Chain A
Amino acid sequence: MREMPLVLLALPVLTALLSVGAKNKKTLTQISLAGGGITAGLALWIAYTVFHFGPVSAGGRFIYIDSLSAFVMSLVAVVGLTAALYSVGYMGVEIAENAIPESRLKWFYFWFNIFLFTMFLVVMVANLGVMWVGIEATTLASALLVGFYDKKSALEAAWKYIILCTVGIIFALFGTIILYNAALPVIGEGSRSLDWFYLQEAARQLDPKLVKLAFIFVLVGYGTKVGLAPMHTWLPDAHSQAPSPVSAMLSGVLLNCALYGILRFHQITSHSLASGYSTRLLLIFGVLSIAVALPFIIIQHDLKRLLAYSSIEHMGIIVAAVGLGNRLALYGAFLHMLNHALAKPFLFFSAGNVTQHFHTKKIHKIKGAVLAMPISGTMLLLGAFAIAGAPPFNIFLSEFTIISAGFASGQYLPTSLMLVFITLIFPGMVYAATRVGLGVPPARIEKGEPSKWSATMALIPIIPLFVLGIYIPKSLDQVLQQVVSIFLGGN
């Protein structure tokens, strides 16, 4: 039982290998669903154990999972499973319409599952060096998925993605080496000096100059992957060109995995310096990202790029909330992480169905999606309201929590800026969604959904958005409180 986390890491790899060996589409689908289901089940079970019985370690401290890791791990599990479910319908339509040859489907599932494996690796390992290896591996595994359509635009996006993120992340490795250097005289040689748990314990003895330097490099490096401005330029390209299930994974959890890397360094830095050094930096980058997303959301002409810029906005909100730094703001930050991870894949699913049906991603060319596609169109419209922060959806609740935490702690300037930007983004999102959703569809568009699977996957995920917008279950509240306590360095 103790070594279950290792099994969890092995499962997606096994699914990937089986996919390559699969003979036809039906077997592939079965492998993907079975693999995805078991993986998600095991991950959630491990997370449950962590929440109730404390941190888990395995493979001789190779893996160490505390509440924060378990929290992000659950997000990876849930989004990974829903994306796998959605892939069945979406890829089915793509093959039926000859957008991709059936023979390449197995490579889709291969890289999809390897991608999943790398994300689990990032959140489960104890060693910051191995975490770097994992985050770089997420880029490598997903680059070919981004370029999966093999069209010019997709290849351009994939190339920019891999080059920009690899360069960015090299700076993060430099930061990791600097931190290792700082830890050597304190903790001693070997893996322990890169173990975030021990680093946090020994944080006060580390050379503050080196810690500061390490944090800047890591923030810029991993920040590139989180999509923080001004390093965000790869993100809209990659998210809009990837197949929609992959966009959902990129937006829903990949960004969070990279953010998880920053959070671990942030913990060490704030324990070490006992000043607001890293929180201030996070606040600045967070607010800047929201600001940068604003004009692009308002003038956007591509539906999937709209969603991508919205991801930049929401990662900015989470990072800024961590930067506000008090308990309530952190609670809001993690709640927002959950809410965004639930809402954005859902939007990419419904938007994926709509773009597939209308054969275009251009906002001005899509009209009357609600009439043409009663389920996906309606869900896209509702989802846009949800993501823009309208009550009674969950995003409203977490944004409200963050904003009130900011004002309560007297940080008026950044909080007001956030409030203004979020308010201005709202009409931008809603305008685009109503343009797409309302009106009468062109005559050439037939009525109906491209696939029952896809339509179901665009429908079900709205339930948690509603429920979490109205009340937060006690168990979730306890989990979030626990994550915040861990984050602040309690027990």
Chain B
Amino acid sequence: MFLGSSGVSPVVTLILAVCFLVLGARRLDTAIRLVVFQAILLALLTAILGLANGVGEMVFIAGLTLVIKAGLIPFILKKVVDRIGLSSETRSYVNRKMSFLIAGALVMVSYLATGQIAATQSAEGREILATAIAMLLIGLLVMMTRKLAVMQIVGFLIMENGLFLAGVGTTHGMPLVVELGIFLDMLIGVLVMGILTFRIQSSFGSINTEKLRNLRG
């Protein structure tokens, strides 16, 4: 099922490496820049696959990825961070060493799991799928362990990038109408999360989600 083309593997590895850099990021704006970098890599990968297989739609999707994921979404995030006026640390419940360790374990789990599901696919197809699942899990890890609202948005973006990778890597991407819909949802999603982050900042005086635990029972 995988569309054979060489030169894909290093890009995929880089995309996964960026996830680890996000886990290591000390400042919010570094994390945002890393997400931009990951989006550019994804766009590159999509374009390579599109050209190699002669699928014009994928090249279009690659362009759209650049505009939305490397342009508009980081722009919104940057606005949020600037308005809140903090370039503070990406506070976490788990320290960085532990984060790396967990993430490493998650990558191994993903490779093992992919071997189980996708025995029929080519080696490259399996690698992409394993990376995609690893990104899904690492994104979840970021969302669960990072305290600041903006970092939770970053985690969400990584998860979605993982899905995008799964879509592009194992098929020619989803049908165009679906891809467009997902892009729109992402954009509006980040916008709404951004608005909520603003309001949380002005009500709680901080975007530390540790303070969001009054509703119980």
Residues of A within 8 A of B (CB): 62, 127, 129-130, 132-133, 136-137, 140, 143-144, 147, 150-153, 155-160, 162-163, 166-167, 170-171, 173-174, 177, 180-181, 184-185, 189-191, 193-194, 209-210, 213, 236-237, 240-241, 296, 299-302, 305
Contact = CB atoms under 8 A, between A and B. Distances in A.
B185 A177 contact: no
B75 interface: no
Contacts of A296: 217
A279 B161 CA distance: 32
Interface stretch (B12-20, B39-47, B172-180): B172-180
Nearest to B143: A167
B160 interface: yes
A397 B159 CA distance: 44
B217 A133 contact: no
Interface of B: 1, 117, 136, 140, 143, 149, 152, 156, 159-160, 163, 166-167, 170-172, 174-175, 177-178, 181-182, 184-185, 188-189, 192-193, 195-196, 199-200, 203-204, 209, 212-215, 217
SS class of chain B's interface: helix, strand, loop or mixed? Answer: helix
B166 A177 contact: yes
B203 A144 contact: no
A6 to B, nearest CB: 14
Contact of A209 (B117, B175, B215): B117
B121 to A, nearest CB: 9
21 contacts: A129-B175, A129-B178, A133-B181, A133-B185, A137-B185, A140-B185, A140-B189, A152-B214, A153-B214, A155-B196, A155-B212, A157-B215, A159-B200, A160-B215, A163-B156, A167-B159, A177-B163, A177-B171, A185-B1, A190-B175, A210-B117
B200 A155 contact: yes
A163 B140 CA distance: 11
Contacts of A181: 1, 170-171
Contact of B203 (A140, A151, A302): A151
B163 A140 contact: no
A167 B171 CA distance: 23
Contact of B178 (A127, A150, A213): A127
Most buried by B among A140, A147, A158, A189: A140
Contacts of B167: 177
Contacts of A140: 185, 188-189, 192
A47 B152 CA distance: 41
